[in-house]
Structures are given as structure tokens and as C-alpha cells.
Amino acid sequence: MSEFVYHGEVRNEPDSETCSDSEWTDYVFNRSGIPAVKKEWWCHTPSNIWFIAERDTAKDHVLRTYLYGEGS
Amino acid sequence: MPLRLIRYALSSKHHEPRMFTTHDRMKSSYDVVIIGAGGHGLAAAYYLARDHGITNVAVLERGYIGGGNTGRNTTIIRSNYLTPEGVKFYDASVNLWKDLSAEFDLNLFYSTRGHYTLAHTDSAVRTMRWRAEVNKHYGVDSELVGPDHVKKACPQIDLSCAGHAPILGALYHAPGAIARHDAVAWGYGKGADMRGVEIHQQTEVQGLDIQGGKIVGVNTSRGYISTEKVLSAVAGFTPRVTEMAGFRTPIFVHPLQAMVSEPIKPWLDPILVSGSLHIYISQTARGELVMGASLDPYELHSTRSTLDFTESLSAHMLEMFPFLSHVKVVRQWSGMADMTPDFAPIMGKTPVEGLYLDAGWGTWGFKATPISGKTMAHTVAKDEPHPLITGFSLQRFADFALTGEKGAASVGH
């Protein structure tokens, strides 16, 4: 379990200069808490490679993995 | 076995009444619908009926009574939290706990044991002192003690923890207690049932009917119910309910696992918690050791168990209690913890009028069962948050006014 470390869902940061307060607090605090297939940040600790995994958070099945910028 | 007792068992004059009424059908409308027949939902139903005279209430449960996190926690009750909001809230809960067995006429095996939060580092000692001072300020029995105090209460402990995590001190909380968790749900359920509340098990809420920003009904697996007030008390299922309601919250779900040993001779009186070793342990009235650890490290909506958990928790247990090496683990399980960023619950009103949230109970919900029921009943009946829970509103995130309770979480998260 500790070979790969979870770093949360991939989220797009809004432009803090132009977004509203509610968009910003939504980004900072709110999460998509429902079970679904989600894009997540993971890190392979021995090699320190960060990558994105598409994982079903109800069944704990990893469907795809790819490096940032290489996936669709 | 005394024969006189058998006579009562066989006599039709002395039958034991069923604990809950079975209702063949649901009504088409209720004053209040509570989603979730765990301890929290049933406690809210109980206090709605008892203190506010609102008895036209349905409690809907997709599984069975107390089958969620109410029956999956490690039953520890304490009030030595870190923030003033937390200390006042949990202390009110402990005070309710003490009278529940008598109130329900049901033995909850409420047992005051004393609770030690062990400190293995200087910074942990500092946090314990901070917590002790906050606790004492609000009249909670709590003090920083040395390793000798721990050794006296529990002579079997290896104070050096296998040499690499020596115990430097502990936060000692004399009122710390354990209770039989299923019985809490049964007691509240029975009390609510007696007062006219309907409990419908095997009834899943599949949608919320919201019109003009206001709750008007719920769709269930057994048909539509109209209602103007809905209380969601569903712990790890909360994000699914808020998704139906159309708003987002900071809640994220990780599994929390626990395990229990075979029953052994009573030897452990106090409850012991170690943040550094990631363990908490107590011994039940029938001799089992109930053990827990920290959260699983990633999001998952499942109650599966893992060998990783059993192995690492056992290893840490043996560091503290080497003599347990021959004791068998007989059961392990998991619950879905609805975590919040500040380790405080989310309670009260929501952006949807008539929808109330009792959520964000993460790893700290069981001890709050009575007071959350009482304060949520008040909130639902009066449509305004009870004074004890104003610090726990969903709005606090938008206001950047968090209630930082992390320092008091028993085990590192």
C-alpha cells in the first residue's frame, strides 16, 4: 500500500485573480465525495514518479494510468 | 440454569415484547423524514418525539438498524477535545450518556474506564498540555500525567514501546468510557418507536423532491413520501445525499478499519490511545480487545478489510504489549468515514430549505450520538441551529471560519 501514495482527485484551479469568492471556496474546500470513476494524483514513492490514475472509488479498480499531459 | 427462569421462558403470559413495531406500509406524508436509522438518526427521532412533541416522523434505513458506523466504531466516549466548541459539545454528550441506560431501561454496558492519550514526543506532550488546559477551563476532568501514572494503571505496558517510541507522558481523562454500540441504536429506536415514530428498514431513499429551493418530498424504494423537513444522518453516504440535493460539501470518504481479539481474562482497565503508534485499544465487558488504527490512506466507498491493516496494527500492538503475541484476532471490519478538512462535524441547515445535515462524523461520531440527536432535533423542530452546534455549520467553509479540531483526533489521520 505504501509503494503508491494517493494525493487526491485531479482538480483544476480557477484563476484566483478573476474568479468569484464562491468559486474559490468551492475549489479550496469542496470535493466530489460520491463514488465514481475519478482521475487521481498518485505517486510511486521509490521512483518519485507522479502520475494520474483513473480509479473506480466504489470497487477500488484502477482502470488506466498515465503521466500528466499524456492522457486524454 | 435455574428452573424458575425456564418456566418464564415457556409461559405465554411472560412473553418478551418486540423491540420495534413492524409497519406494513408507509404513510403518504410525514412531518419529518430522517434518512438513516443509525444512532444519530434514531437519537434525533427520539428527542424530536420526547422533547418537541413531533411524533409524525419516519426514519428510513436502506439496511438495518445500527448496521452502519453505529455498529462499526470502537465505542470510545470522551470529551477531552481541543477547541472550545468541541469540548462543550462532547462534554454535554458525556453527561447525556451517563443516564441513558436508566432512561431506556436497557443496559448499554456504559463503563467509565479512564482514557489515556499517550505522548511519545515533546511536541505531543505540548499538545496534551494545551488540551488539558482547554479542557480544565471548560470544567472537563483532564490532566497531563507522567509515564508512572500510565504504568500504575496498566502494569503490562512496555513504556519504551520496544525501545523506539518511549512514552513521555499522557493526557489522562478520567470520564473516558466505553459502551455497547448496538444497544445505543436499539435504545433510541425503541424509545422513538414507543412515542409513535415509524422506523422503516430496507427502505432506500433514491431521490429528493426539491421545488423552488425547498424540500417537498422524498422518493424511496417503496414509493413517494411528501414532507417539508428531511434530516440526513447517513455518515459515509452523505455525499450521495448532497448530490441528490444539488450542492457540494468538503466531505470525503475513507474507510476506517478495526478488529477484535478472542475474549481473554480481564487485564486492561483503561482505554489507551497512541497517535504515534496509530493504535487505540480497550477491553470489553466480555474480555475481547477492541483495537483500531488510523484511516485507510485513500478514498474508497467500500467496507472491505485488508491484511495490511491487521498486520501493521498487530505489529504496533506488540510493541506496546509484547505478551499479546499468542492472542488471536477473531474479527475485523471497516466503516466508511465521512471526513472533513477540520476534523469537526457538519451540522445544521443547508442551502436547501427544509434539508438538515448531520454529517462529517469521520472517526468521531459514536461519542456524539446523544448530543447530536438532541441538538439536531432542536435544529429541525425550530428551524434554527442549536447554540452548541453553531460552530459546525456548512457555511463555515465559505466564511473561512473553520473549527480546527485536528489536534484532538485520537489517532493520526
pLDDT in tens, B87-145: 999 999 999 999 999 999 999 999 999 999 999 999 999 999 999 999 999 999 999 99
B196: left (phi over 0), alpha (psi -120 to 50) or beta: left
Cβ–Cβ < 8 Å for B345, B361? yes
Q: Which of B303, B338, B373 is the last residue of a domain?
A: B338
| Residues from chain A contacting residue B252 (CB–CB below 8 Å) | 31, 33
DSSP-derived secondary structure for B78-89: ----SSHHHHHH
Give the class (CATH, top level) of A4-66: alpha beta
Q: Are residues B329 and B267 in the same domain?
A: yes
pLDDT at position B411: 52
C-alpha to C-alpha distance for B354 and B216, rounded to whole angstroms: 8
C-beta atoms of B253 and A59 within 8 A:
no
Q: Are residues B153 and B283 in the same domain?
A: yes
Smallest CA–CA distance from A3 into chain B, residue: B297
pLDDT at position A72: 62
C-beta atoms of B301 and A35 within 8 A:
yes
Identify residue B210 by its one-letter amino acid code: I
Cβ–Cβ < 8 Å for B283, B304? no
Of B358, B340, B317, the closest CA to residue B409 belongs to B340
Which of B249, B341, B398 comes nearest A33 by C-beta?
B249
C-alpha to C-alpha distance for B409 and B46, rounded to whole angstroms: 28
In chain A, domain spans: 4-66
Which of A5, A30, A38 comes nearest B250 by C-beta?
A30
CATH of the domain at B294: 3.30.9.10
Q: Are residues B242 and B123 in the same domain?
A: no
In a domain, B377, yes or no: yes
Smallest CA–CA distance from B237 into chain A, residue: A34
pTM, rounded to two decimals:
0.94
CB B361: neighbour CB atoms within 10 A? Answer: 31
Of B67, B74, B293, B239, the closest CA to residue A58 belongs to B239
CATH of the domain at B194: 3.50.50.60
DSSP-derived secondary structure for B358-412: EE--TTT-GGGHHHHHHHHHHHHHHTS--GGGGGG-THHHHTT-----GGG-SS-
In a domain, B122, yes or no: yes
Pairing of strands B355-359, B230-232: parallel
Q: Are residues B162 and B265 in the same domain?
A: yes
B348: left (phi over 0), alpha (psi -120 to 50) or beta: left
C-beta atoms of A25 and B338 within 8 A:
no
CB B117: neighbour CB atoms within 10 A? Answer: 26
Q: Are residues B155 and B266 in the same domain?
A: yes
Q: What are phi and psi of B205, to 5 degrees?
A: -80, 125
pLDDT in tens, A50-68: 999 999 999 999 999 999 9
Q: Are residues B274 and B327 in the same domain?
A: yes
Q: Which residues of chain B have pLDDT under 50?
A: 412-413
pLDDT at position B413: 39
Q: Are residues B400 and B266 in the same domain?
A: no
Quick one: B396 exposed, middle or buried, by C-beta within 10 A (0-12, 13-18, 19+)? buried
In a domain, B205, yes or no: yes
Q: Which residues of chain A have pLDDT under 70?
A: 1, 72
pLDDT at position B410: 53
Structurally, how many domains does chain B consist of?
2
Where in the sequence is the domain holding B39, given as residue range(s)? 25-72+182-251+342-408
CB B387: neighbour CB atoms within 10 A? Answer: 10
At B92, list the grid cell.
454535554
Q: Are residues B306 and B199 in the same domain?
A: no
Pairing of strands B271-274, B115-119: parallel
Of B255, B236, B254, B257, the closest CA to residue B332 belongs to B257
Q: Are residues B264 and B163 in the same domain?
A: yes
C-alpha to C-alpha distance for B27 and B23, rounded to whole angstroms: 10
In a domain, B5, yes or no: no
Cβ–Cβ < 8 Å for B75, B180? yes
pLDDT at position B11: 78
In a domain, B328, yes or no: yes
At B352, list the grid cell.
436547501
Which of B308, B341, B397 comes nearest A1 by C-beta?
B308
